[in-house]
Amino acid sequence: MKKILLVEDEQPLCLLYQEELTAEGYEVMSVHDADSALDSLKNKTFDLIITDIRMPGKDGVELIAQIMGLRKDVPIIINTAYQSYKEDFMTWAADAYVVKSSSLAELKAKVRELIKD
Amino acid sequence: MSELRKDLVSGRWVIIATERSKRPDDFRPASPEKKESASVFCPFCMGNESKTPPEVFALRESGTPPDGPGWRVRVVTNKFPALSPGAPPPKSAKGIFQWMPGVGVHEVIIENPDHDKELSDLETSHISDVLLVYRERIKAIEEGLHYQYVQIFKNKGKEAGASLSHPHSQIVATPIVPKRVKEEVYGSERLFRTLKECIFCRTLREETSLNERLILRNDRFFVIAPFASRSPFEMAIYPLRHSPFFTSAGEEELASLAGVLKTVLTRLKTTLSDPPFNLILHQAPNPTVSQKAWPGIEQYFHWHIEILPVLTKVAGFEWGTGFYINPVPPETAAGYLREDK
């Protein structure tokens, strides 16, 4: 089963994404901040990372830069409520940028596209 | 007493504080801007080509394949663009509100593979390569005819809007001619009718004779601190050869401009401790559009480059009035920038 690391500080959203992605057949581990994500990446392997940007502590852009120092081969999806971070070229380290909406169709499509069988 | 000065072309007014003028030391940061380290990660560095969209243009060592190492200057489309390529559909309207789909081009020019080498640190021949890439991209985008204006700019430093310190420039092409460009075109046309000559050529003559704001002049270019500078230590670079289109610059002209850029950017760096700045290329709109909308533009518009150090804040007064307050008279700024340290 393909493993996804979900980095999302809002608990209700975290539960929603976890439920929807598990239903799609993925194993999802969720953490609520960047430091916990980095710890998880040191101990476990994942096939995909989904990260929010605005989080307490390090933001998602800083997290992505640090992930690149650990693992460049794991695809990353930025999942944020804000378009404005597209102007930060560090987000190019990610493979996709999804703006949060009530429909998870785009997020699920990007997950399918980036997780290789 | 301060002075109110008018920029003739745009019609913009500026308040120049002639008393208690600030010195370069007043603008030196308490500590230099902290740059992100290339050792963390940078999508623009050599070896990370897979993190950018495929290159649309590159100057690279012969035999090296695209999207791998071996490049000197590399152009890629914006990975997450605000505007998408395509033919612009007509404008729509609902009542008084007008809109059109966000069509356009947004490309990034990565000026060199080395994260820590700014434009002014490069060899003149490499700066010339960057300018050549500007020219070639403008030509290619204008040939598509979808885009009425191609804007090239460079943001250096966080305060100037750069999100990464790896030296880069950007190209944004829009399906309409932006307001500020139109103001410059209309302003220079109006002045041409009055003066019977190009306002920029006239400025060159008068600035040379006054020699108060002239910073540098060689056989192809002159650099001044503009009379109505908006920002302290603002500079404008004009070619001596009159032309509205940057794309008309030949290789010798670009090589000369590269030398001028290296000199003035190095002086800016040493005078003001490496300040953030915006560099903006001003040129006439797409020639096909220009010839239809502004017949005679060849006579009255003159391409140029503006360099605006970001040393003061634009706030409520500036947004409300369009006035800028500049605490350093351009004559004083030119005095510092003329000095070869």
Question: Residues of B with CB below 8 A from A93's CB?
Answer: 41, 43, 51
- CB within 8 Å: A90 and B43: yes
A84 Cβ contact partners less than 8 Å away, ≥ 6 residues apart: none
Q: Which residue in chain B is spatially nearest to A69 when comparing CA positions? A: B40
Q: Complex ipTM, two decimals?
A: 0.86
Q: What is the pLDDT of residue B33?
A: 62
Mark which residues 10-49 of A lie under 8 Å from B by CB: none
Q: Which of B149, B51, B152 is nearest to B104 (CA)?
A: B149
pLDDT of residue B36: 61
Nearest to B247 by CA among B133, B146, B325: B133
B52–A68 C-beta distance less than 8 A? no
Q: Identify whether the C-beta of residue B148 lies closer than 8 Å to the C-beta of residue B177.
A: yes
Please give the pLDDT value at position B341. 55
Residue with tokens 């030119």: B334
Residues of A in contact with B154 (CB under 8 A): none
Q: In the predicted model, is pLDDT for residue A105 greater than 80? A: yes
Task: Report residue B228: phi and psi, to 5°.
Answer: -110, 55
pLDDT digit string (tens) for chain B, length 341 residues: 899 999 999 999 999 987 666 778 777 766 666 666 556 789 999 999 999 999 999 999 999 999 999 999 999 999 998 888 888 778 889 999 988 888 999 999 999 999 999 999 999 999 999 999 999 999 999 987 679 999 999 999 999 999 899 999 999 999 999 999 999 999 999 999 999 999 999 999 999 999 999 999 999 999 999 999 999 999 999 999 999 999 999 999 999 999 999 999 999 999 999 999 999 999 999 998 888 899 999 999 999 999 999 998 888 988 898 889 999 999 999 999 997 65
Q: What is the pLDDT of residue B136?
A: 97
How many other CB atoms sit within 10 Å of the CB of residue B4? Answer: 10
How many whole angstroms separate alpha carbon B238 and alpha carbon B244?
A: 11
Torsion angle of C-alpha atoms B328, B329, B335, B341, degrees rounded to 10: 20
Contact list, B80 vs chain A (CB under 8 Å): 86, 91-92, 97
Residues found in chain A = 117
Whether residue A68 lies within 8 A of chain B, CB to CB, comes out as yes
User: Smallest CA–CA separation between B195 and chain A, in Å?
Assistant: 43
Tokens of B107: 């490309």
Is B40 in contact with A89 (Cβ distance < 8 A)?
no
Of all residues in chain A, the one with the smallest CA distance to B48 is A93
Contact between B15 and B2 under an 8 Å Cβ cutoff? The reply is yes
Q: Which pLDDT score, from 0 to 100, does residue B304 have?
A: 98
- Whether residue A107 is predicted with pLDDT greater than 90 in this model: the reply is yes
Handedness of CA B202, B206, B209, B215 (dihedral sign): negative
Q: Residue A2: which residues within 8 A CB-CB, separation 6 or more?
A: A25, A26, A27, A47, A48, A115
Residues of B in contact with A88 (CB under 8 A): 163-164
Q: What are the backbone angles phi and psi of residue A56, rounded to the nearest 5°? A: -65, 150
Chain B's closest residue to A94, CA to CA, is: B51
**Which of B34, B41, B42 is most worth mutating to test chain A (most A CB atoms within 10 A of its CB)?**
B41
**Pairing between β-strand B149-156 and β-strand B71-77 as defined by DSSP bridges:** unpaired
CB nearest B41 (choices: A68, A86, A88): A68
- CA-nearest residue to B79 within chain A is A92
Q: What is the pLDDT of residue A95?
A: 95
pLDDT score recorded for residue B289:
87
pLDDT computed for residue B340 by the predictor:
62
B143: helix, coil or strand?
Answer: helix
| Tokens linked to B119 | 């434009």
Distance from CA of B80 to the nearest CA of A (A): 6
Comparing CA positions, the residue from B142, B147, B151 lying closest to residue B170 is B151
Query: What's the CATH code, domain A3-114?
Result: 3.40.50.2300
Across the interface, do B43 and A97 touch by the CB < 8 Å criterion? no
**Domains detected in chain B:** 3-30+39-81+100-338 (3.30.428.10)
Residue of A nearest to B51 (CA): A93
A/B interface, count of CB pairs below 8 Å? 42
* C-beta atoms surrounding B198 within 10 Å: 19
Q: What is the residue extent of each domain of chain A?
A: 3-114
Q: How far is CA B144 from the centre of its chain?
A: 22
- Number of neighbouring beta carbons within 10 Å of residue B291: 14
Which residues of B belong to the active site? Answer: 168
Question: In this complex, do B163 and A97 lie within 8 Å of one another by their Cβ atoms?
Answer: no
Collect all residues of chain A within an 8 Å Cβ-Cβ radius of residue B163: 87-90
Q: Which residue has the tokens 């003028």?
A: B21
CB contact under 8 A, A89 and B41: no
Radius of gyration of chain B (CA): 20
Residue B90 has what pLDDT?
A: 81
Is A70 near chain B, with CB under 8 Å? Answer: no
- Chain A positions touching B156 (Cβ under 8 A) are none
* Residue B202 pLDDT: 97
**Closest by CA position to A107, among listed A72, A85, A67, A76:** A76
Q: Say whether B209 sits in a helix, a strand or coil.
A: helix
Q: What is the pLDDT of residue B314?
A: 85
